[in-house]
Structure 1
């Protein structure tokens, strides 16, 4: 077989504000590959099927995390690939693999023996499309589940507020919280997203762009649990309106991702009210909660008890714009790039 183009989504520069599609990251067609003869050196040749576009990728572009992306290299994140060739005894041609944050944004990639320790072969459960495994059935769903289990100390009848509640993580948080018997307040950035929250059963859903968050919390609070995806002034508003011994699960701070870090002014409230702040990463909690997630959440996704929405685009060349849309909140539902359907 002759060489053919191996499309890649490359890092071209480090942004100071919002990433600019085609300039910060760009689709590149300069690489070639021969899938029959390329050397694997004990690894796997994989074809990219799906990539997950998540806010944390912005941090890896700017160095907010230890794993900063390298210039002129593909981005990498959560995704699903299919094995084309394998020199690894654990994986075979045709296997579908899920990658924990290390799937490169290139149409074909060689997964080394070391990298193969971070991928798993799986078969989707009936009723759950493959793409949902990078959404509600994957990292975002696990983030919601593990955070509430580890840090929520949930008690029936308490009140939880979830920012970015219509997003991939937030929409699972609100549904799990409702199942636990909590009063759920959720904010989102459009009327379409507010409508989605009401469909999920959120008790108080509002558009933070047109409704004052403090007024809502003063009326509907005080808050026992806050799931924070945005930081900044929203976190300040929550700290002003908590019960004593409230728990704040800090999952993201998107208000400060694309410019100056968002300032939080009300940390003294955490002393007066003995508020607990928890920084939440899903990775360290997977071994503790994966089995419970598979038992409790996967069946509810399969039978439709837990609902989800996807915002799909087709083609790796759409990944740059999809990332910007996620960071600006323009997507509705889990952002997924479909690279190949076979």
Structure 2
């Protein structure tokens, strides 16, 4: 077979602290590489055609200069960035991986890539089956990384009890919108914030008891009226975090999601201004890495939650872009908070 173009989204330069990536500057779409499916060395791995990619806030820390506490290592300059994606196997030398099967996990942002192994815990990839009731982008969002983050974090750390009150910041995003619905299923009163009126409307549609636009409504006033809080799910950090702490009950739980609160960290900000309340109110704050929790909760996630999503018991919104060349714009869209629901890029059809 003749070589074909292998489009790639290359990491081009470091994003300064406190800034967002610039499409065409931070990352560059490149078509200079070709690939021959029949002859490219696999070295025991397998060749994947990328179908869809997830645009996640967790990509941003790896675009910054190395710093203490950085959750993931920086992307190498001049190489494709890596995120969560789904692809179809075109050729395989890997035991248990068949041609035509589908790979889910850490995939390079390129049209075709070689996955060396299924056994690398730092770049986890697994073979999955297509759910006939869900699109590939849905399997990246509500039943993919966003859903796993929400489900595993909530089940592990919320200790939710019927009748309690939870506040979810960035509640209309891929993670936050699932947390809102998990909390409602557990019988909680849910307060949720978002940055546009369209997102507030979506929050009401998915069951939030109180939904407000934090840009036009004072967060502290809302929490003073609708709280106090038993649980705060943090997706943003900053002053919203401080407002939530001020509105807590005794023994409240603060869950710091591995999403925007990490991605927006610039190494200098110190968001907690009311730290004395941790002692006075016996507060508990926990951060988590979903990848260390997923195996503990995966049986329940796949056996209970995924069928509920497929059957329409959970509502979700998607913000879908087409073409790898538009991945840079799609990521900026997700990081800037303009999206309602999960942002994904469809790279190719099968």
Are residue 278 (structure 1) and residue 282 (structure 2) matched? no
- 1:112 matched to which residue of 2? 116
User: Which residue of 176, 189, 205 maps to 1:170?
Assistant: 176
Deviations 1:158-208 (A, max 9, x none): 000000000000000000100000000000110111010000010000011
Aligned to 1:236: 242
Match of 2:82 in 1: 76
Measure the CA separation in 1 of the matches of 2:263 and 2:101.
39
**What is the alpha-carbon root mean square deviation over aligned residues?**
1.5
Select the residue among 271, 296, 300 that pairs with 1:288: 296
Q: Tell me the equivalent position of 1:121.
A: 127
Change (3 A) 1:116 1:38: farther
More deviation, 176-185/261-270: 261-270
CA contact (8 A) 2:57 2:263 kept: no
Quick check: 1:38 aligned with 2:40? yes
Q: Distance in 1 between matches of 2:323 and 2:72?
A: 29
SS in 1 for 2:174: coil
Q: Which residue is 1:220 aligned to? A: 226
Which structure 2 residues correspond to residues 93-242 of structure 1 after superposition, within 5 A?
93-99=99-105, 102-113=106-117, 118-242=124-248
* 8 A Cα contact 2:44 2:94, kept in partner: yes
| 2:55 aligned residue | 53
Answer with 155-164 or 325-334: which moved more: 325-334
- 1:152 shift after superposition: 0.6
- Distance in 2 separating the partners of 1:66 and 1:53: 16
TM-score, length basis structure 1: 0.96
Offset at residue 262 of structure 1 (A):
5.5
- By how many angstroms is 1:149 displaced? 1.2
Partner residue of 1:27?
29
1:187 partner SS: strand
My pick for the range that moved more, 64-73 or 301-310, is 64-73
Using the alignment, how far apart are the partners of 1:143 and 1:33 within structure 2? 35
Is the Cα contact below 8 Å between 2:167 and 2:190 reproduced in 1? Answer: yes
Secondary structure of the structure 1 residue equivalent to 2:231: strand
Shift of 1:67: 2.1
If the length of structure 2 is used for normalisation, what is the TM-score? 0.94
What's the offset of the Cα at 1:244? Answer: 0.5
Runs (4+) of structure 1 moved beyond 3 Å? 114-117, 254-262
Q: Tell which deviates more after alignment, 225-234 or 62-71.
A: 62-71
Shift of 1:259: 8.6
Segments of structure 1 that go 5 or more residues without pairing to the other structure are: none
2:324 is aligned with 1:316: yes
SS at match of 1:329: coil
| Deviation readout 1:1-35 (Å, 9 max, x if unpaired) | 22221100111000111111100111111111111
Q: CA deviation at 1:42?
A: 1.1
- Secondary structure of the 1:91 match is coil
Deviates more, 1:117-126 or 1:19-28: 117-126
User: Of 290, 298, 303, which residue of structure 1 is paired with 2:306?
Assistant: 298
| Mapped partners of 2:298, 2:73: distance in 1 | 24
- Alpha-carbon separation, structure 1, partners of 2:267 and 2:256: 19
Could you say if the C-alpha distance between residues 300 and 114 of structure 1 is closer, same or farther in structure 2, counting changes exceeding 3 Å? closer
Confirm or deny: 8 A CA contact 2:12 2:78 kept in the other structure: yes
**CA pair 141-259 structure 1, distance change in 2 beyond 3 A:** same
C-alpha displacement at 1:260, in angstroms?
5.2
| Distance of 1:295 and 1:227 partners within structure 2 | 24
